[in-house]
Amino acid sequence: MVFDKLIEMKPEKQTSTRYVATFHNDYGAISFERRLKKLGDSQARLMPVPRHISASCGLGVAFFIPFDPKTMPDENTDSVYQSDGDSYQLVFENK
Amino acid sequence: MKNKNLVVIIITGALFAVAAWVLTNGMALIPGGTSNPGNMGFCIACFLRDTAGAYKMHSASVVQYLRPEIIGLVLGAFILSLAKKEFKPRGGSAPMSRFLLGMTVMVGALVFLGCPLRMVLRMAAGDLNAWVGLIGFILGVFVGTLFLKSGFAFPRNEEQSTVEGLIFPITQIVGLVLLLAFPALLAFSESEPGAMHAPVLVSLGVALIVGALAQHSRLCQAGSLKNVFLTKNFDMFWGGLAIFVVALIFNLVQGNFKLSFADQPVAHTEWLWNIIGLFIVGLGSVLLGGCPMRQLILAGSGNTDSAITVVGMIVGAAFAHNLGMASSPAGTTPAGRIAAIAGIIIMLVIGFTHLKKEKA
């Protein structure tokens, strides 16, 4: 089935914890991903925000090193979720 | 389940195509049925322009009709967002820039004669001019992603009052009341394409469903390409492809597929301006955070930045016709070509003046 092939093309899921960050604008996502890569997460990547987190069509970032509220978010970051398969738990909200 | 989300998006795309068919060649099957103009089951730009005409904001007599599709799309999104508790009044992010970009995107769309959704519907009918325009659209979205990567961002929006978020959906309800109960206040074209429309309740009903589907799926032509360029995720792209494939199948089965440049409904053959027009729409849509239909859906969901963008599109349509910028099947106009070039300059200025510097 074509869909299975499409799913296979996606990057492999990591065994470490997966986080998803959402943002107030796409640039927030782009700069966050660069920041995560500098912090050592080579697997950090831009992704469309999962539908059940948000009705927004903005970009999100999936990342795989432990979330650090001091070094990772900036004023464009909205929230960070910890992902367990298909469910997401809110771990940080930028007020 | 990732699979499930993809399936939802693809089914949504297919339903969009079915809806567009209902409003055009579907209605033609019903004795006495009236339909929208050719390859125009949905065209957000054209329909906003027609609506501006209905309110006599312009006097181009062939394009004056208060399109219920616009009302339905907004209210469908509005109702579903309320039901899902996703109605979130937010706004206050660079309103004048968004208003101006809305005008610019409308000018680009009127130079091409379609929004990105109509581009897909035209492609599925064999209109090669739309295939050419697609080049411009892809290029425009691509340049938009370059701006994003270079730090383009409007200031973040903020929570607004409930009333603020309700104003735009309420304007659509008012429009519906006028259309149904006080039509004498509005203008109605007597010749094509403005005079071509499906029955009001059919247009409204179909669009309500599509608006809700669009809110649920977040489908957006510009967004789908943006996602491909920036994230390599093709989910929304397959949704757009589903619109194309299903529309194509309906056209082939009914014998409405005509592969040509010439004599396509509400289309012209000036390849350069088809490319430029959709380039403007593509780039503008990325800067705005969504294509014209997505702006309607967001506005229905309480986003007042998108509402201002839509108002900009309506005003842009009025200016375009009052100043002779809009294309016709006969081709582009000198004012339209100048406006298109001005539009590119405007977008570049707005783009370059909103680049954030990377923190050290």
**Is the pLDDT assigned to residue A8 strictly greater than 60?**
no
Kindly report the nearest CA distance between residue B313 and chain A, in angstroms. 21
For residue B157, the chain A residue with the least C-alpha distance is: A24
The total of structural domains in chain A comes to 1
Q: Are B94 and B23 in contact (CB under 8 A)?
A: no
pLDDT at residue B357 in the model = 78
Query: In this predicted model, what pLDDT tens digit does every residue of A30-44 receive, in sequence order?
Result: 999 999 999 999 999
* Domain region containing A68: 19-93
pLDDT at residue B66 in the model = 97
For residue A47, the chain B residue with the least C-alpha distance is: B231
Inter-chain touch B6–A26, beta carbons under 8 Å? no
Residue tagged 């996602």 (tokens):
B227
Inter-chain touch B2–A7, beta carbons under 8 Å? yes
In a domain? residue A5? no
Contacts of B144 in chain A (CB under 8 A): none
10 Å CB burial of residue B172 (0-12, 13-18, 19+) is buried
CA distance B38 to B264: 8
Q: At what angle do helices B271-288 and B128-149 cross, to 10 degrees?
A: 40
Q: Which amino acid is at B61?
A: S
Q: Are B130 and B122 in contact (CB under 8 A)?
A: yes
Confidence at A10, pLDDT banded by 50, 70, 90: low
pLDDT at residue B134 in the model = 98
Spatial strand order in the sheet of A45-48: A45-48, A59-63, A18-23, A77-84, A87-93
In a domain? residue B359? no
**Mutation site for B-interface testing, chosen from A12, A22, A30 by largest number of B Cβ within 10 Å:** A30
In a domain? residue A47? yes
What is the mean pLDDT for each group of 10 consecutive residues in chain B (360 residues)?
Answer: 81 96 93 93 96 96 96 98 96 97 98 97 97 98 97 94 98 98 96 94 97 94 96 95 97 95 96 98 97 97 98 98 95 97 98 82
The total of structural domains in chain B comes to 1
Contacts of B227 in chain A (CB under 8 A): 48, 59
Query: In this predicted model, what pLDDT tens digit does every residue of A62-76 receive, in sequence order?
Result: 999 999 999 999 999
Helix (H, G, I), strand (E, B) or coil at B31: coil
Helix (H, G, I), strand (E, B) or coil at B173: helix
In a domain? residue B360? no
Contacts of B301 in chain A (CB under 8 A): 55
* Domain region containing B250: 2-352
In a domain? residue B7? yes
CA distance B59 to B156: 38
State ipTM: 0.88
Query: In this predicted model, what pLDDT tens digit does every residue of B158-167 receive, in sequence order?
Result: 999 999 999 9
CA distance B1 to B229: 23
Closest residue to B356, CB basis, from A3, A10, A27: A27
pLDDT at residue B360 in the model = 47
In a domain? residue B90? yes
